[in-house]
Amino acid sequence: MTTVLAFVLALGLLIAIHEYGHYRVAVACGIKVLRFSIGFGRPVLRWRLRGNPTEFVIGLLPLGGYVRMLDEREAPVEASQRHLAFNTQPLRSRVAVVAAGPLANLLLAAVLYATVSWIGVEEPQAVVSTPAAGSVAERAGLRSGDWVLQAAVQDEEAEPVRSFDDLRWRLAQAALEGQRLLLVVQAQTQRGQGSTREVWLDLGGFERAEANAQLFRDIGVVSPWSRPVMGQVQAGGAADKAGLQAGDLVLDIDGRRIDDAAGLREIVRQSTQSAVQLWQIDRRGQSLQLSVQPQMGSDGSARIGRIGAFIGEPAQKVLVRQDVLQASWEGLSRTWEVSALTLRMIGKMLIGEASLKNLSGPLTIADYAGKSAGLGLTAYLLFLAMISVSLGVLNLLPLPMLDGGHLMYYLWEGITGRSVSEIWMERLQRVGMAALLLLMSIALFNDVTRLFG
């Protein structure tokens, strides 16, 4: 139920903001708006405001919306109201009305990002765990317990890294764009903080990169540092059979020192079913040795070891918070960064340099909506901001069925001085419809594969 409610709320808000952008600018330009609708199909609810000619409607199918304006191309218009019709407006007004919807979504994203930055959110510290074996981070010399202080792409000036989430965002950007990333790190030792050093990650070797968990495994930075402590143990699992208990601190396995929870998880994953491991643990100050035989499980198409227990304790958190001015700038800059990254990813997918698996449809969005709502207000606001950016950017693409397609027509009109002919308009509409159906089919296929594969 939480997933459904979170999805409906997210979709309704984003559609309403998008259509309100069209509506507000249309009214400001002196255009008569006949209907403002959230959803399609039979109206479930409709009303009018006193002195306002617009009918406000909520449709049965909440998968979109529209703003219907007075227009001679759709129905005859009385001579006395011709100046209120959309098609009679100057080019600049028509461009403003069409562009207002996507821009409203981008503005909403900036406000949401700024709100989260101003409220503040507790995030894991940017202290990395053991890099995955054979990963870029391992080859570059990143080690368990390294605290990432700053990061810089290529030859740009290094900027502070505020949290582990901030670090992952910078890693994803650099990897998807095929760039080198400089990390300024400080080792954490038993005696305190060590000296700082520079670590260069060459992230240009990821072909058809997909922004998922496997990308971060390939990079080698999967999770923040946490102690290798056993959490909840499932009855009947390998950990339970071996006698492991919640709170046990794992010191070494088969003589191999365990530095953190990520290193422990990696050893378990790489185990074979026949392997019996000797675990050295600390249980409330008492040293014990236990024989553990991991069981085999599946992770997609791969076979991995499992012990039936949660590994690791919560990572140390840091409050990431800014004042109003800083938060406002953060909202604008993050919206710009996400928009630019989205466009670059779309371009890479079109030329085959990025996987089409990055496309997501309504099922994945609904799943993420439910999960983010369960994590709290700030997680849900960040989810809304991300989807709002995607909606704004996608609607600006030059596809005839989208706002960007209409802007493409107006660009042609501005250059040539004449509008696109009806014959070409019809042809382009067919091409745009086919492209949208193809994208929707791929996104839905990805949804089903992710959620039920």
- Best CA proximity match to 154, nearest among 129, 179, 188, 184: 179
The HSE-up count of residue 367 (CA atoms within 13 Å, CB side) is: 11
The C-alpha atoms of residue 195 and residue 191 are separated, in whole angstroms, by 12
The C-alpha atoms of residue 93 and residue 190 are separated, in whole angstroms, by 65
For residue 107, the tally of other CB atoms under 10 A from its CB is 18
Tokens 């990432």, residue located: 148
List, as one string, the DSSP characters of 178-189.
T-EEEEEEEEEE
CA-based radius of gyration for the chain:
27
Which residue out of 19, 123, 177, 266 is catalytically annotated? 19
| DSSP reduced 3-state for 124 | strand
pTM higher than 0.85 for the full model?
Answer: no
- Estimate to the nearest angstrom the gap between the alpha carbon of 124 and the chain centroid: 18
| Mean pLDDT, the chain cut into blocks of 10 residues (453 residues total) | 75 90 94 90 86 88 85 85 90 94 95 92 89 87 91 85 90 83 82 77 69 76 90 89 92 90 87 82 92 81 84 87 90 90 77 63 62 74 89 86 87 85 76 72 64 55
Two tokens, residue 125: 């510290």
Buried (b) or exposed (e) across 138-169, using 16+ Cβ within 10 A? eebebbbbbbbebbbbeeeeeeebbbbbbbbb
- Best CA proximity match to 256, nearest among 233, 230, 278: 278
CA distances to 83, 147, 266, 312, 319 from 316, rounded to whole Å, are 63, 12, 21, 12, 10
Note the maximum CA span of the chain: 92
The C-alpha atoms of residue 406 and residue 428 are separated, in whole angstroms, by 11
Question: Please, what is the Cα angle at 258 between 294 and 300, to 5 degrees?
Answer: 45
- Best CA proximity match to 323, nearest among 110, 117, 112, 109: 117
In the annotation, is 159 catalytic?
no
What was the pLDDT predicted at 172? 84
The C-alpha atoms of residue 84 and residue 77 are separated, in whole angstroms, by 9
160 φ/ψ angles, rounded to the nearest 5 degrees: -60, 145
Buried (b) or exposed (e) across 283-302, using 16+ Cβ within 10 A? eeeeeeebebbbbeeeeeee
The answer to whether 153 and 111 are in contact (CB under 8 A) is: no
Q: If you count them, how many residues does the chain have?
A: 453
Residue type, 88: T
What was the pLDDT predicted at 383? 86
Residues 6+ apart with CB under 8 A from 199: 137, 140, 141, 142, 146, 182, 183, 184, 185
The answer to whether 153 and 202 are in contact (CB under 8 A) is: no
Q: E-assigned strands of 104-179?
A: 121-124, 147-153, 159-160
